[in-house]
Structure 1
Amino acid sequence: MAKHTYDLGLIGNCAFLGLIGTDTAVRWLCWPRFDSSFVFGSLLDSQKGGEYSIRPADTDAGFESHQYYMQNTNVLCTEITTADGAYRVTDFAPRFSQYERYYKPLMFIRKVELISGTPQVRVACRPVGQYGQLPLNRRRSSNHIAFLGLEEEIRLTTNIPLTYVLDEEEFVLNETKYLVLTYGAPLEAPLESTAERFLRSTIDYWRTWVKSTSISSFHQTQVIRSALALKIHQYEDTGAIIAASTTSLPEAPGSTRNWDYRYCWMRDTYYILTAFNNIGHFEEMERYFHYIANISTKVKDKYQPLYGISGTSELVEQELDLEGYLGNKPVRIGNDAYTHIQNDVYGQVLVALLPLYVDCRFLDPERQNPAKLLYEALHRIEATMDQPDAGLWEFRNLAQYHCYTYLFHWAGSHAARKVAHSLGDTEMEALATRLMHEAESRIEKCYSPEWGAYTNAIGSPHLDASTLQLIMMGYLDPTSERAHRHLEALEKELMTPEGLFYRYRHADDFGTPETTFLICSFWYVETLACVGRLDDAVREFEKLITYTNHLGLLSEDVDAKTGSQWGNFPQAYSHVGLVNAAYRIAKKLDRPTFV
């Protein structure tokens, strides 16, 4: 089987995201929100997905493509070379500071420049609505085309003759052209000068943002790209951070493990905030804190494993009548995991909110009664201490007493004890201490003398990569014999010869997993660094970064045998894993940090 990679570039401005192919086609773009219907979605259906491309007029004659980012930005360039000449398409979502706030409109700008010769190009722009079920009506105006039928107007403003765009007729590119696509508020300013100003300002914004990150010299280029990708997965309006920009890209071909990841998973809160903390970006942390704190005020009976980017609790799963990526069905929107019981979320929230109360950099946590939130989370840990759950991998038909859940009961209680101490609340401190010890006793019930390691759940014979966190989070002393034996057992059972890690090897609701999970592989690297196997950690990290696409972007899953990328893309949590693993190694190497 040939190696499969996602030959796509990511653009975004913290209000929307887009994926652009190496042929200039916009394969995925949802408006007006990350979790809205696509307006361009050929990634999931070549017919119903609409089109937005600036291709060579004669694609049958063949062409070469070179796609890259402007250094230290989320501005994407695609250079196309044909027999007649070459041209460059520069794609970006404007983002910069204006009037003491960030300007991040629902505006997608494409600049088309002549490089050499007399290339002939053909522009197609056919947005759709309701996941391809709604063709939009077109209205020609003096200098723009309006696409009507959605809640707000989509408008294409361009200096390309509108007839060429409407008829999708070829034309010779002999001067720089601009295309500005907007949702809602249109561009009401000079086209060329505004597009150029927005481009300069956006480049400056991203380069300044990168300069303000604390990143060591250890594989700095890849860490910067991961940080940039992670940044634009935050929906700045609410602070939510989504798992991935796409839905229904299969974890393995034919697996039917096709899920919608355009939501915010509470279970990953700790890792995301750790990543932003590790690169010294507190603005993103604060926004995410506020999102979580807002959700905490709405919770009645239990925290859900995930929420919508606006804090929506109901994410009803539906299947759409679409072709699917490379024919992989079903295509799903929504995610039924919102109904699951995942009890690690209470500890996740406590660990995530800890810095608000103990980190001196956060002066105003904007919470009138921090004790109320902490007590509520601790009481939920207490109430669920002996309740089986779906676990972090969201088994749909299997409830167990998961080691990972108890680890976060332990870690959350540990965090709450620190806050209680800083608040002088002895009652809370006593409760948190008791729950820590109760969680510890449950974790120890997961220990298997046969394996010399901790299994995934009480009474289970199976090992699970999530238990690497026992070492990473300090439950096990990384210098201890038990930590080393636990790691060796996980290596023996879950690691491939290529150094990739499976989440687990036992069958679940959909059979036995076929592909490895990248964030588990990065957890492994972190664990190696924790236990002092630094040379191994560096070697395995350097293997993992070979699994990016041509732009340094990571998927969710990797086929160990072929090196193929699978799963939703780009996967924010894979990039989180890379950032945290690089930080852990760099800290151990004690290399200088560039700020």
Structure 2
Amino acid sequence: MEKHTYATGLIGNCAFLAHIHKNTNVAWLCWPKFDSTFVFGSLLDTERGGEFSILPEGEYTSKQYYIENSNVLCTEVTDERGSYRITDFAPRFYQYERYFRPLMLIRKIEPISGQPRIRVKCAPVCDYGKQKLKLRRGSNHIDYAGCEETIRLTTSIPVSYIVDEQYFQLTEAKYLLLSYGDPLEAALESTAESFLRSTLRYWQTWIKHSAIAGFYQKYVIRSALVLKIHQYEDTGAIIAASTTSLPEYDQSGRNWDYRYCWLRDTYYVLTSLNHIGHFEEMEQYFNYVTNISFSEGEEFRYQPLYGITGKKKLIEKELDYLSGYLDNKPVRIGNQAYEHIQNDIYGQVLISLLPLYTDHRFIFRERKDSDRWVESLLNKIERTLDEKDAGIWEFRNIANIHCYSNLFQWAGCNAAAKMAITIDNKELEARANALKDRAAAHIESCYDPVRKVYTNAAHVPHLDASTLQLIMMNYLDPNSQKAKDHLIALEKELKTDNGLFYRYLYADDFGKPKTTFLICAFWYVEALACVGRLDDAIREFENLMKYCNDLLLFSEDVDENTGSQWGNFPQAYSHVGLMNAAYRIAMKLDKPIFL
């Protein structure tokens, strides 16, 4: 079986995300928000998904690359007539004391060699492909009506060539600017060039101001750039992935919508960005979480995930008229996991925001109602501490006292105690420590002394990669024999011969998993570094680098037999795993951190 990798690159500006395929097509773009309908969605249906391509006649070859240290993507196309380059970007830069991040996709086309002839096809859709848009031509633009707002294509290419889908000779640089809502009311070419320079300057400065160690720095830089654009800056929410319904493996039926904010995933994203010295994302997220915390009163139970504006009901629907990625059905929008009970999330919210109270670069008094906020989280932990839940992997019909859930209740209480010290609230500190001890008792009920391993839940024999976190969170002393034995037992059962790692190998609601989960392999690397097996950690980390696509983008799942990429893409979890594992190894190696 042939190796399958995703042939798209991701661009974005913290207001929208777009996938550009190697075939030049905009294969995925949702407007006006991350979780809105796609206006281009050929990733899930080549017929109903619309098209925005820039192609020559006949056969061609292509390659993609990012302009160094940026989220600006280039696609170079070559055929027998010549070659040309498409530069795709979403404008983002600082002006007028705020970030400019319009719903605007800019495509610059320029000849490289020979006399290329190209055709531009632009056919956006709406309502997840149900609705084709009505085209109205202007002198230098085309309006597409039918969505909530008009989509406008402003161009220096003769409009007739685009409307008639006619081939033409590319003799000089041409520009395509697609906007949602507000049209461009300025000179096209000079504006596009100015936006390109400013966007490149923004991204390259952002990386220059990152504290990134020398270990596999190129991969860490790309991962950081990927994670940054997964934050919806308008509200501070951070999504798990930009896509929906990319299957965990071919014909698996495990096709999920990940365009939402999981409180758990966000903890990992913020941790990885904190490691490289970026904190504004955490402050923006604090506002998002605070809004959720106090929107429903003190008795409100956190959901595992929310919409990017804090929306609670993310009703799951199947769009049976869409063919799906490589004919994988169903295509789902919404995610039923919003109804789940997942009790680790309270602790993860506390840990993710702990630096705001313990790092002296932040002034904690800037945040109002700290006592009330910490107390509300402890209330939630106390109420759910003894409760069965769906666990990190969101089992739909299985509930247990999960080791992972109790671990993060334990760690959350530890964080709350530290926060209480900062805000000088001894009552909250004592309460947090008492709850921490109760959580530890539950964790210990998962220990199997015969196999010297913590199982995934109390009184259950199954092993689970999520319990690697017992080592990384310092619940188990990494230098202890208990930690080393636990790691050995997990790698013996869940690690593949080629260094990948399964979440678990027991049957869930959909049977046994058939692909490995990439973040688990990175957790394994972290755990190896923690217990002092540094040579093993480096070897396993280097082995994982081959599972990216040509642009250093990683998927959610990997097939152990073929190395194929599956699952939603690029997956924030996987890039987080890479960054945290690289950071852990760099600290052990005492590699210099470049500022």
Please, what TM-score do these two structures have when normalized by structure 2?
0.98
Q: Quick check: 1:168 aligned with 2:160? A: no
Runs of 4+ in 1 over 4 A off after TM superposition: none
Where 1:67 maps in the other structure, the secondary structure is strand
Q: Which runs of 5+ in 1 are unaligned?
A: none
Residue matched to 1:75: 72
Query: Conserved in 2, the CA contact under 8 Å of 1:356 and 1:365?
Result: no
Residue matched to 2:494: 494
Residue matched to 1:302: 301
Give the alignment's Cα RMSD to 1 decimal. 0.9
Give the Cα separation in 1 of the matches to 2:425 and 2:552. 47
Give the Cα separation in 1 of the matches to 2:280 and 2:385. 34
Deviation of 1:154 after TM superposition, in Å, equals 0.3
Query: Conserved in 2, the CA contact under 8 Å of 1:528 and 1:536?
Result: yes
Give the letter aligned to residue 45 of structure 1. Answer: D
Q: Return the match for 2:88 from 91, 96, 102.
A: 91
Deviation track 1:474-498 (CA, whole Å, cap 9, x = no partner) reads: 0000011100000000000100001
Give the Cα separation in 1 of the matches to 2:366 and 2:505. 44
Give the letter aligned to residue 44 of structure 2. Answer: L
Q: Where do residues 88-127 of structure 1 align in structure 2 (5 Å cutoff)?
A: 88-127=85-124
Give the Cα separation in 2 of the matches to 1:432 and 1:262. 33
Deviation track 1:148-167 (CA, whole Å, cap 9, x = no partner) reads: 01111100000111111001
Give the letter aligned to residue 480 of structure 1. Answer: S
Deviation of 1:287 after TM superposition, in Å, equals 1.0
Residue matched to 2:315: 316
Deviation of 1:301 after TM superposition, in Å, equals 2.8
Give the Cα separation in 2 of the matches to 1:409 and 1:226. 28
Give the letter aligned to residue 564 of structure 2. Answer: S
Residue matched to 1:51: 51
Where 2:327 maps in the other structure, the secondary structure is coil
Q: Return the match for 2:265 from 264, 268, 274.
A: 268
Give the Cα separation in 2 of the matches to 1:31 and 1:57. 30
Deviation of 1:10 after TM superposition, in Å, equals 0.6
Query: Conserved in 1, the CA contact under 8 Å of 2:7 and 2:21?
Result: yes
Give the Cα separation in 1 of the matches to 2:2 and 2:98. 47
Q: Return the match for 1:154 from 141, 151, 154.
A: 151
Residue matched to 2:458: 458
Q: Where do residues 466-477 of structure 1 align in structure 2 (5 Å cutoff)?
A: 466-477=466-477
Give the Cα separation in 1 of the matches to 2:425 and 2:594. 40
Residue matched to 1:213: 210
Give the letter aligned to residue 72 of structure 2. Answer: V
Deviation track 1:500-528 (CA, whole Å, cap 9, x = no partner) reads: 11000000000000100011111111111
Query: Conserved in 2, the CA contact under 8 Å of 1:249 and 1:259?
Result: yes
Q: Quick check: 1:286 aligned with 2:279? A: no
Where 2:371 maps in the other structure, the secondary structure is helix
Q: Return the match for 1:63 from 60, 63, 69.
A: 60
Give the Cα separation in 2 of the matches to 1:460 and 1:593. 43
Deviation of 1:270 after TM superposition, in Å, equals 2.2
Give the Cα separation in 1 of the matches to 2:351 and 2:65. 38
Deviation track 1:360-413 (CA, whole Å, cap 9, x = no partner) reads: 111156432211111121122111121100001000000000000110111011
Q: CA 1:365–1:175 in 2, change beyond 3 Å: closer, same or farther?
A: farther
Give the Cα separation in 2 of the matches to 1:380 and 1:75. 43
Residue matched to 2:446: 446
Where 1:46 maps in the other structure, the secondary structure is coil
Percent identity reads 65
Give the letter aligned to residue 266 of structure 1. Answer: L
Q: Where do residues 327-476 of structure 1 align in structure 2 (5 Å cutoff)?
A: 327-364=327-364, 366-476=366-476
Give the letter aligned to residue 230 of structure 1. Answer: L
Query: Conserved in 1, the CA contact under 8 Å of 2:105 and 2:179?
Result: yes
Q: Quick check: 1:144 aligned with 2:141? A: yes
Give the Cα separation in 2 of the matches to 1:402 and 1:285. 27
Moved more, 271-280 or 469-478: 271-280
Deviation track 1:397-431 (CA, whole Å, cap 9, x = no partner) reads: 00000000110111011111111222222211111
Where 1:249 maps in the other structure, the secondary structure is coil
Residue matched to 2:585: 585
Query: Conserved in 2, the CA contact under 8 Å of 1:337 and 1:394?
Result: yes
Deviation track 1:38-82 (CA, whole Å, cap 9, x = no partner) reads: 000000001100000001122xxx211111010111110011000
Where 1:298 maps in the other structure, the secondary structure is coil
Q: Which runs of 5+ in 2 are unaligned?
A: none
Give the letter aligned to residue 86 of structure 1. Answer: S
